[in-house]
Structure formats: structure tokens, C-alpha cells
Amino acid sequence: MGVPVWSVDPRTGKRREEVGVEAEAGEVDTAVRAAAAALPALADRSVRARLLRGAAGLLERSAAEVIATADAETALGVPRLTGELARTAFQLRAFADIVDEGAFLDVIIDHPDPAARPIARPDLRRYKIPLGVVAVYAASNFPLAFSVPGGDTASALAAGCPVVVKAHPDHPATSARCADLLRRAAVEAGLPADTVVLLHGFQAGVELVTHPLVAAAGFTGSIPGGRALFDAAAARPRPIPFYGELGSLNPVVVTEAAAAERAEQIGAGLAGSFTLGNGQFCTKPGLVLTPAGPDGDRLVDALTADTASVLPGVLLDARMRDRFLQGAAARAALPGVTAPVGPGDGDGLGVRPGYVTVQAAELADAAGGAAYDLLLEECFGPLTVVVRYRDDAELAAVLDRLPGNLTATAHLGAQEAERPGGPAAALLARLTALAGRVLVNGWPTGVAVAAAQHHGGPYPASTSTSTSVGGTAIERWLRPVAYQDTPPALLPAELRDGNPLGIPRRVDGVRE
């Protein structure tokens, strides 16, 4: 008998149900080999699209059960989870549309040109093929949209890759129910059920990333856990790509002009953003640079009032709660740091949101700034750090110390936002170097599923330059291959003259 896997209610700390057992090495091997056997059946794009749409429909028809189970395991609330399920179904259908269109195959055909210089050109035809079995590591804070039926799974299936998902221990029952729906959708689409396989257990995750038939991995989680798996993927005899989203501070810069125009509005917006979902969004603004003058004081006063009015909330599990309380206390105890609204214990197993503030000079000081490194690390939960800067030099010095991020935000004054070039443009350029998504006069806690979306950023925000949200996420699970002087009868249909599949292509430099 293996180690049992229990579903736990974070509101009470009590076990709900036994979901299964942790997979051992032999079971991981069996799961991966079963998924690999499903790879040839995924070659038909129409079948993949049918799978994705079928999965979306099954999720929607099972919404009441799935949402109730997820709420019981995560305490995220029915309204939030209802929206998350809708998002999950939407992105499954969005990838089905991408599969139907076929542009993701990136077909390029160059016919032979003996007269080409400096070297004659042979017949070359290039497109992209699936990597193989993809390991997906489910996220704690999004039990649907970034877990078993989430974006990594959807994009991998769209690319033609079978998926083995390592369930997150915070929502094993939700994972099992969603995996059952995906497997059912696969069968109804004419595919093997093992197109999607679910595993439980920490060691299973380690075994998975090192299995020789796993061709790539997608991860959303902590920096230590993600980095350990990333290193294991790189240390294999045949290294594989590891697409990890690890952690992000998501800095916000409020200019003096913005604070003068709408300090109260910005303060209220910040309170709503960093406490949204009990501060458990990967895009939570965790560091906010505001002016040190009277307008900055107005912003902080509004932030204090609005944060104090937010009710305590329950985090995803007791371990995260303990880490949050310890991290908040350690930050508040630093010299020169104050906590106008102190985060801490809430009712029962809940926590109170809050924020700490510090002068930018402390962080910018070349000699003593390292003592405040903790303020430049993500604290998972409803806490943000407000840094008061006196001038552009202090602002720049703090920004220079920041690691890579998923997002970076600038709140600008009306005239700054309309003026080309100048300080605002320089600020955006600086923020662009720090993050994968740059926002102006908004808040980062919201990641639209759209073709132009980018959800990633410089390390440690992610381990690659790719996105885990949006249509181009499919590119992670593909590799290009070119055929040279290949007889037409032996070419894949996607590369034959006449475009028999009717997909977008570039032929001799002309898009068709």
C-alpha cells in the first residue's frame, strides 16, 4: 500500500476524503509509457480540437461538483472559482481554434533556386512537430486554470503532446475529478484515455521530470521547488526544456504627477489588488514605490483605510499560512520598517492583510541595503511593501536591485502619459527590462487569455522567454524540423504543394 493522499479543508484543517495514493517509481514509469503510447493518435489535428472542446463542455456541465470540491479544498470561494472555471473552458476552446487554424505549425516553404547566391538553394520545407510527453506540475493557487485542465495541459494537448499531470497536494480531489473529465473527453474524441494521466506525490514529481520519455515540463509554483526541478531537467543525460513560473514581486511605480492627481484612487486600487484572492495571485503587486511627499502621504492614508476594511481570509493550506505569518513578521521587524496595517492572525485559521513601509534610502544604500533583501522577495499572501522615494535617483537605485518579474506597473500623470519621450518613456524602458508584461495606470492582478498576452519574465519570474498564458503558449511544446529535397509523396501533408490542408503558410517569402 502506498502513502494515502488526503483532501483537507483549509478552513478547518480537517481531512475531507482519501483521494488516492502517492505514485511510486514503477507507477510513474507505467503512467509515462501509457501517455507516450497515445502520441500517434494525437497526430490528427481535428481530433485534438474535438478533445479540447469536449473537455470544455464536460467541465461546464460538471461545474457545480467541480466548483464545490475546489472550494472545499482551497477556500477560494464559489464566485472566484466560478470565474476560474469559465476561464479554463474559454482557454480550452481558444486552443481548439488555434489547432483548427494551423498557423502555429509555422509552415515555411522555399522552392529550389540554383541561381541563389552565395550558395544555391535546395528545396526546403519547414514546420513544427510535437515534442512528446509533457509533464505538467499543477499550481496551488489556481486549482483549475493553472492545474489539471489548465493552460499548460491545454496548450500541450493542442500541440499534439500527451500529458502527465502531477497533482498539487492542496487540491487532490479537484485534480482527480478534472482528470476524469479530461480522460472522458479524450475517449469521446476517439483518443486513448491515457492521453491525460494524473499522478499524486512529491517523489512522483521528481521521478516524472527525470523519466527518459518525458520530453518537456511545465511548472507553476515556488522558486525553491521550481529551481530544483529545473536543475533536475537540465542534469538529465538528455536535458529537456523546463518551462517554470517561479515567483515575482511585480513592482509598481507611482510618479509624483500621478500621486498629485489621484492619490486616493491609487491607494484604494492597490488595496484591492494586493488583497485579491487573499494575496495569492502570482501577479500580486508586492513592492510599490510612491513619492515621499504630501501626495504620497495621501496615497498611503487611503491604502491604510482600505486595507484595514478588508476581512481576514483563509490561505490555501496551513503551511502557507505559517510561512506568510513568519515572513510578514520578519519584514515588519527590520530596522526602519513600519506596519501601518499589520498583517497577522485572523479569525480561526484566517490571516489579516496588511502592508509595511520603508524609506527608499534604506534599500538604495550601497552599504546597508543588503540588510533589506527580504523586502525584495515575494511574500505569498496578502502583504505588500510600500517604498517611499524622495527623488529619481532613489527610485532608480531601488529598481536597479530588483530581480525579474512577471509584471511591472507605472502609474503616470495625465500629461506624462500623453507626452512622447521624456521621463515617462524612460521609466517604461526601465520597467521593460524587469518584466514580461508592462502596465500603465492599471493593476496586474488579472491575466487576460488573449493572443497578445505574455505571462512570463526574466528569472526568477520564469525559466524561459516563453508565455504560459495566451495562444503562443503552444510554441513551448513544439520543435521545428526541415525537409530538404524530399520527394513530394514522402512529405507531410502540411508541406506539400497546393496546400491540401488549407493552413497559413509562407511560400518563397510570400504569406498565403
pLDDT of amino acid 349 = 87
Whether 234 and 298 share a structural domain: no
CB 351 within 8 A of CB 315: yes
Q: Rounded to an integer, what distance in angstroms lies between the CA atom of residue 382 and that of residue 284? A: 9
% residues pLDDT > 90 (the chain): 94
Distances in Å between the Cα of 301 and the Cα atoms of 106, 357, 384, 442 are 53, 12, 15, 20
The string of pLDDT tens digits covering residues 291-350 is 999 999 999 999 999 999 999 999 999 999 999 999 999 999 999 999 999 888 877 889
Three-state secondary structure string covering 143-190: CCCCCCCCHHHHHHHHHCCCEEEECCCCCHHHHHHHHHHHHHHHHHCC
Q: Which residues contact 26 (CB under 8 A, 6 or more apart)?
A: none
Whether 267 and 221 share a structural domain: no
pLDDT of amino acid 421 = 81
CATH number at residue 417: 3.40.309.10
**Residue 369 clears pLDDT 80, i.e. is over it:** no
Whether 295 and 186 share a structural domain: no
CB 342 within 8 A of CB 332: yes
Assess if residue 2 is contained within a domain. Answer: no
The string of pLDDT tens digits covering residues 10-62 is 999 999 999 999 999 999 999 999 999 999 999 999 999 999 999 999 999 99
**Residue 417 clears pLDDT 90, i.e. is over it:** no
Whether 225 and 322 share a structural domain: no
Active site residue 22: no
CATH number at residue 90: 3.40.605.10
Q: Rounded to an integer, what distance in angstroms lies between the CA atom of residue 424 and that of residue 430? A: 10
Give 1's pLDDT tier (boundaries 50, 70, 90).
low
Assess if residue 30 is contained within a domain. Answer: yes
Q: What is the domain extent for residue 381?
A: 251-440
pLDDT of amino acid 2 = 82
Cα 402–chain centre separation: 20
Whether 144 and 240 share a structural domain: yes
Whether 362 and 432 share a structural domain: yes
Radius of gyration of the chain (CA): 25
Give 376's pLDDT tier (boundaries 50, 70, 90).
very high
Q: Rounded to an integer, what distance in angstroms lies between the CA atom of residue 84 and that of residue 74? A: 13
Whether 206 and 256 share a structural domain: no
pLDDT of amino acid 418 = 85
Mean pLDDT, all residues of the chain: 96
Q: Rounded to an integer, what distance in angstroms lies between the CA atom of residue 72 and that of residue 70? A: 5
Assess if residue 454 is contained within a domain. Answer: no
Give 226's pLDDT tier (boundaries 50, 70, 90).
very high
**Residue 365 clears pLDDT 90, i.e. is over it:** no
Assess if residue 92 is contained within a domain. Answer: yes
pTM: 0.95
The string of pLDDT tens digits covering residues 454-471 is 999 999 999 999 999 999
pLDDT of amino acid 343 = 84
Give 422's pLDDT tier (boundaries 50, 70, 90).
confident
Choosing from 73, 245, 362, 394, the catalytic residue is: 245
The string of pLDDT tens digits covering residues 80-119 is 999 999 999 999 999 999 999 999 999 999 999 999 999 9
Whether 205 and 350 share a structural domain: no
Whether 275 and 195 share a structural domain: no
**Residue 121 clears pLDDT 90, i.e. is over it:** yes
Q: How many domains does the chain have?
A: 2
Assess if residue 493 is contained within a domain. Answer: no
Whether 31 and 89 share a structural domain: yes
Mean of pLDDT values over 174-179: 98
**Residue 395 clears pLDDT 80, i.e. is over it:** yes
Whether 239 and 269 share a structural domain: no
Whether 203 and 275 share a structural domain: no
Assess if residue 509 is contained within a domain. Answer: no
pLDDT of amino acid 344 = 80
Choosing from 256, 282, 362, 378, the catalytic residue is: 282
Three-state secondary structure string covering 16-34: EEEEEECCCHHHHHHHHHH
Backbone φ and ψ of 115, nearest 5°: -90, 0
Query: Torsion angle of alpha carbons 481, 485, 488, 493, nearest 10°?
Result: 10
Active site residue 282: yes
Assess if residue 506 is contained within a domain. Answer: no
Three-state secondary structure string covering 85-128: HHHHHHHHHHHHHHHHHCHHHCEEEECCECCCCCCCECCEEEEE
Question: DSSP state, 477?
Answer: G
CB 162 within 8 A of CB 134: yes
Assess if residue 112 is contained within a domain. Answer: no
pLDDT of amino acid 348 = 80
300 membership: H or E segment, kind and range: helix 294-308
Q: Rounded to an integer, what distance in angstroms lies between the CA atom of residue 263 and that of residue 254? A: 9
Q: Which residues contact 294 (CB under 8 A, 6 or more apart)?
A: none
The string of pLDDT tens digits covering residues 257-270 is 999 999 999 999 99
**Residue 367 clears pLDDT 70, i.e. is over it:** no
Coil, strand or helix at 428: helix
CB 151 within 8 A of CB 121: no
- Among the listed residues 321, 387, 374, 339, the one whose alpha carbon sits nearest the alpha carbon of residue 11: 321
